Amino acid sequence: MRFYSIWLLANILLITSLSTAKGEEECVLHYVENGYSLFLERKFVQDQSVKVNCYKGFNLPNGQDTITCTESGWTPQPICIPSETCSKSDIEIDNGFFSESDLTYAVNRKTRYVCKQGYTTANGERSGSITCLQTGWSAQPSCIKSCDVPVFENAKSKNDSTWFKLNDKLDYECHIGYENKYKHTKGSIMCTTDGWSDKPSCYEIECSIPILDPRLVVYPRKIKYTVGDLLKFSCRPGHRVGPDSVQCYDFGWSPSFPTCKGQVRSCGQYPELLNGEIKGTKKAEYSHGDVVEYDCKPRFLLKGPNKIQCVDGKWTTLPTCVEEKRTCGDIPALEHGSVKFSVPPYHHGDSVEFTCAETFTMIGQRSVSCISGRWAQLPRCVATVQLEKCKAPRLAVIGANKLEKDGLNHNSSISYKCRGSQKYGYSICINGRWDPEPTCTRKEKAFCPPPPQIPNAQVIDTTVKYLDGEKVSVLCQDGYLTQGPEEMVCKHGRWQSLPRCTAKITCSQPPKIDHGSIKLPRLSDAGRDAIDSSSHEHGTTFSYVCDDGFRISKENGVTCHMGKWSSPPRCVESTGKCGPPPTIENGDITSLSLPVYAPLSSVEYQCQSFYKMQGSKKITCKNGEWEEPPKCLHACVLTEEIMRRQNIIPKRTKNKKIYIQSGDYVEFVCLTAYQKAQGSPEFRTQCIDGHINYPTCSK
């Protein structure tokens, strides 16, 4: 009985006071046409509402489920009318089908549809839903042609998308040492009605050997030479004119192949280098093969090989000394140490000297230089009582400052001689480590061939070999910009970390900002012409000014860099108020966006289905600016097509999950009769912002 009373009360919605004051209209619910109510023959006062239940296929007008007592009686009338329905026969889905068997749907009811393999909804999902409204279906279901992320062969994608619609383009880049069938290291493919227009496949770059001087001996002889391979040369008979070795790069062999000559000439005085000078002893005449090394004067940076060579009476190309305008900032603090007095600014090549406090010992170089706007590595000040000893080496030590069983103290030195050698080795103990490590293992010096001629860089014409660890800086031609590292490194006998010289790309007009404009120079006509120009060179900078009542939120300028403007500033209200919160991809705020927000106001974000939030979901308006909003990371879509190509399936076959959230792991196994392919990624792999590294199996 008690349950019935509670249930009865729950079905009565009291909208206003239950007052039954004299003069209020009363309503009695006698019947419900095509429906029923638990409150028949009861009296209700004005503004009271009561719940009505309609039979299946019927509903009250406007889809509501209550009627209200008014001055003129019940509103709406207690009459359930036939429900308006939507029929599936009114809709055709190209390249898709409904996943439910019902043919008609009442108002407000949803139905789901699924796209065929190779097609997706407009937002990239495999399925979608539409709702039956009083005016009909909410939308026309759409399944558009799509392409999954293809399988890359010796290449990587330059797009972040996890799916592509018809006519979308995907850019890819070959791994180092590979090129596509068109002999390019970059390429593009398009999503077509038949799938991808081409395979993003790259193949090992090969270097072919040209016709050589018959006196030139080449080693090693191989059927195929690929990127990284070396060729070494000698002449039989005669003198070699040119490098003794060359290396295969993605742009071919470099430097040029040598020739052989019976007689070679010597060179006269070395050439002078503007803003530079030679190292070592000067000579009046230099023989074929002699090398001269250069250094730049302070505040200048050496670009190109620092060594030139006399080759058959001619010197190879000089390097260039370029003024280094970058300066170093404040001298970094040294714990338990101090720096000798010096006056800024600190230019390239300037050095400062550190000292350690009493009872501390310096480990490292006392003098630290400013190199291209950065301070070189600082020394350390270690408490003298904490200095570590070096273990006595296993070699037969000939002499030491003090040889003790428990080791040798910091700064102790030893000398030793290896069996069969007349030369002595020397080493010093530096805080527990020998420098260099005492050893009798003969280490042959690793040399790299002369540095290569980088395409679109200034001429690098040298025949000098370089030792392991040595570097060569590159200077690009006019109109080109260095991409990647600025210098190449000789490592394990090969040149690595090669810079690239890329053509500078112009920018279109600078971006406009709300409540602000570009600051014009004093010569306003010339300045306006510059701003209105449709093309701006790489490195062009513009400044902005804000309207009255607004202030710049950060640095007030933009710079053109390789065809793109840097992020422009924002003009924020001086009052500290914020405009609408920043938008994010694949997400939105949980509340209605307002044009203006008071200081310290907050909003929260949410991501779309299957997207994972990175960062705080809540941001606050502070000093007229919003905090950094979160990101919505893409999920990974496990596609049957890719798994079939890779001959794999998910390890947990019961799990039919095709979406893997960013950060989650999925494990694969090989299909029957297949095994892990050589060089395949691991079978347990992680989804990272829509990207997943599929393993590969083969027979």
pLDDT tens digits for 322-368?
Answer: 999 999 999 999 999 999 888 889 999 999 999 999 999 999 999 99
Q: How far is CA 298 from CA 175, 347, 349, in A?
A: 39, 8, 5
Q: Binning pLDDT at 50, 70 and 90, where does residue 401 land? A: very low
3-class DSSP assignment, residue 11? coil
Question: Taking residues 546-561, what's their average pLDDT?
Answer: 85
b/e string for 2-14 if b means 16 or more Cβ within 10 A? eeeeeeeeeebee
Highest mean pLDDT among 77-81, 251-255, 529-533, 632-636: 251-255
Of 3.40.47.10, 2.10.70.10, 2.40.50.180, 3.10.310.30, the CATH number of 149-204 is 2.10.70.10
Highest mean pLDDT among 310-324, 381-395, 638-652: 310-324
Query: Could you confirm whether domain 85-146 is CATH 2.10.70.10?
Result: yes
Distance CA 247, CA 253 (A): 6
Q: How far is CA 137 from CA 81, 86, 109, in A?
A: 20, 7, 10
Please name the helix (run of DSSP H) or strand (run of DSSP E) that holds residue 620, with its range, or none: strand 618-622
Distance CA 301, CA 369 (A): 13
Burial of 333 (0-12, 13-18, 19+ CB in 10 A): exposed
Per residue in 98-150, pLDDT (tens digit) is 988 888 888 778 898 998 888 888 877 888 899 888 778 888 998 988 888 88
Query: Could you confirm whether domain 587-633 is CATH 3.40.710.10?
Result: no
Q: Is the pLDDT assigned to residue 13 strictly greater than 60?
A: no
Per residue in 453-510, pLDDT (tens digit) is 999 999 988 899 999 999 999 999 999 999 889 899 999 999 999 999 999 999 999 9
Just give the CATH number of 2-82. Answer: 2.10.70.10
Domain 636-698, what fold? Complement Module; domain 1 (2.10.70)
Instruction: Give the DSSP letter of residue 580.
Output: S
Domain 516-573, what fold? Complement Module; domain 1 (2.10.70)
The beta-carbon contacts of 271-279 under 8 Å, at least 24 apart in sequence, are 271/308, 271/315, 271/318, 273/318, 273/319, 273/321, 274/321, 275/300, 275/321, 275/323, 276/300, 276/302, 276/319, 276/321
Q: Do domains 2-82 and 587-633 have the same CATH topology?
A: yes
Query: Domain locations in the chain?
Result: 2-82, 85-146, 149-204, 516-573, 587-633, 636-698
Please give the model's pTM, rounded to 2 decimal places. 0.60
Q: DSSP assignment of 170-208, as one string?
A: EEEEEPTTEE-TTS-SEEEEEEETTEESS--B-EE-B--
Residue 14's pLDDT is 37
Distance CA 100, CA 104 (A): 11
Q: Is the pLDDT assigned to residue 523 strictly greater than 70?
A: no
